[in-house]
Structure 1
Amino acid sequence: MTTSGKDTATLHAEGNVGDRLNWLRAAVLGANDGIVSMAGLLIGVAGASASSRTLLMAGVAGISSGAMSMAVGEYVSVSAQSDSEKSMLAMERRELRELPEQERDEMVSMLEGLGVSSATARTAADEIHAGDAFDAHAQLELGIDPDATSSPFEAAWASCLAFTTGGLVPMLGVLLAPEGLVIPVVMTLVVVALMMTGALSARLGKAPVAPAMIRLVLGGLLAMAITFGIGRLFGATLA
């Protein structure tokens, strides 16, 4: 059976493209989180007049703890989502086995809800249920592609790697900046990186590029300004 001139293989290919775009978008957001988090940490420590060695130690500790936190959080979140998806798919498979007529009527109702006429919906539902109707019910009724369920391990590694990659940007500023120029160098690198991730995320979401870049840059600058002020306050207090 085809849908709008597209065969099943084409629809699965398009679904896989969507899944890849979602992963890429998540990676961009993870990298942005690493950039802003690490920039805020390093600028805050620098605001307390810390030495380059202290900044480096703080950066290594920040990247390590942040990446692990992101990985664990993503693993737990996606595991819960995956468990829920598997439970719903198992229930749907059981209902198809035990209540086939009721499930066929549900398919008719779903197709009618998509604008298909009653007669056509009934014919299509009969054709779908003549074979294995599980995939169709999973995608139309539950919004789940049984062949593309979430992987907690993949999500954890992707999140960890993305955060680490983003966090290395401000760390690079600490390593390369001459003495006394750490803050402006880090801020410059962060602004450039945020502009790049903002542009990429906007293009992935087919949204205007300029507003996305501006939001990310302003948010990053605000975070760095606040943490720098806190660092200066604590540095002055402890001096």
Structure 2
Amino acid sequence: MSKKLSLAQKINVMRASVMGANDGILSVAGIVIGVAGATSNSFAIFISGIAGMIAGTISMAMGEYVSVSTQKDAQEMAIINTKLNLNSNYASQMAFVRQKYVNTGIDPELADRATHEMMTADPLTTVVREKYGFVPTAFTSPYAAAVASFISFPIGSILPLAAITLLPQTIRVQATIIAVMIALALTGYSAAALGKANRSKAMLRNVISGLLTMVVTYAIGTLFKQ
């Protein structure tokens, strides 16, 4: 039977999905807007967008896999070191946990009791959580993050690609920019909600970065206008 994902693991997978979609929107929008600045050839614009979608999907998935794998390797090494320290000098690890609680303002006597109870119940989890800031059983799967990005990047890419391809030539650049800005506002809000950050600031930051990207690529494209 497969092991169920914890809440933290699910949030990390959702984060990879949101960021994958966000990058898909922004990357392909930048490409197709830039090419549209250089040519009015719809086929050329479409092919450039498809190429960007395929390259970005693979790159994003591999990037997530490597990034999460590196993080997981570091966490596994921290667990190994903690086990060795617990075996060789249990008292120092217990003292570290107690002192950390005291430093946060907990009464020393209460810190003693809390440390004793938690170290008795699960010393490895207690020390790893307090020293390194993660729970040993809450690894994020590199494969899950990679698959999430692999799926979400092309989904995000579809919006700018469809807008620039299907809309009338006279308005397709302006309409694509507007559609992309709305989509980036949504992904910015979603990312902020997952991270419990300021929604308005995240949305504004996302929209501005997307607008700058499209303006710059369009301006560069016009330099090579046919």
TM-score (norm 1): 0.83
Partner of 2:103: 113
Say which is worse superposed, 202-211 or 167-176, in terms of deviation. Answer: 202-211
Partner of 2:132: 142
Unpaired stretches in structure 2, ≥5 consecutive residues = none
Q: Once superposed, which parts of structure 1, at least 4 consecutive aligned residues long, lie more than 6 Å away?
A: none
1:53 matched to 2:39: no
Partner of 2:188: 198
1:98 matched to 2:88: yes
State the 1:94 CA deviation. Answer: 1.7
Q: Which of 157, 164, 168 is 1:178 aligned to? A: 168
Distance 1:214 1:220 in 2: 10
How is 1:1-16 mapped onto 2 (pairs within 5 angstroms)? 16=6
Cα contact 2:9–2:140 (8 A) shared by 1: no
Partner of 1:10: none
Distance 1:159 1:117 in 2: 46
Distance 1:183 1:121 in 2: 62
State the 1:148 CA deviation. Answer: 0.7
Q: Which of 154, 162, 185 is 1:164 aligned to? A: 154
Distance 1:114 1:143 in 2: 15
State the 1:43 CA deviation. Answer: 0.6
Distance 2:193 2:207 in 1: 17
State the 1:233 CA deviation. Answer: 0.3
Distance 2:108 2:125 in 1: 22
Partner of 1:217: 207
Say which is worse superposed, 125-134 or 39-48, in terms of deviation. Answer: 125-134
Aligned residues: 222
1:152 matched to 2:142: yes
- String of CA shifts for 1:44-75, please: whole Å, max 9, x gaps: 11111141111111111101101111111121
- String of CA shifts for 1:80-113, please: whole Å, max 9, x gaps: 1111100110110121122122222222212212
- String of CA shifts for 1:120-166, please: whole Å, max 9, x gaps: 22222222333431111111111121111122111112222222221
State the 1:19 CA deviation. Answer: 4.2
Query: Quick one: structure 1 residues 86 and 208, their matched pair in 2 at CA, closer, same or farther if it must change by over 3 Å?
Result: closer
* Identity percentage of aligned residues: 36
3-state SS of paired residue (1:68) = helix
Partner of 1:75: 65
State the 1:206 CA deviation. Answer: 4.1
Amino acid at match of 1:34: G
TM-score (norm 2): 0.88
Say which is worse superposed, 123-132 or 45-54, in terms of deviation. Answer: 123-132
Distance 1:210 1:102 in 2: 45
3-state SS of paired residue (2:224) = helix
Distance 2:60 2:69 in 1: 14
Amino acid at match of 1:132: D
Cα contact 2:9–2:139 (8 A) shared by 1: no
Distance 2:92 2:161 in 1: 60
Cα contact 2:25–2:159 (8 A) shared by 1: yes
- String of CA shifts for 1:182-209, please: whole Å, max 9, x gaps: 3123222212212222333333344444
Partner of 1:12: none
Amino acid at match of 1:215: R
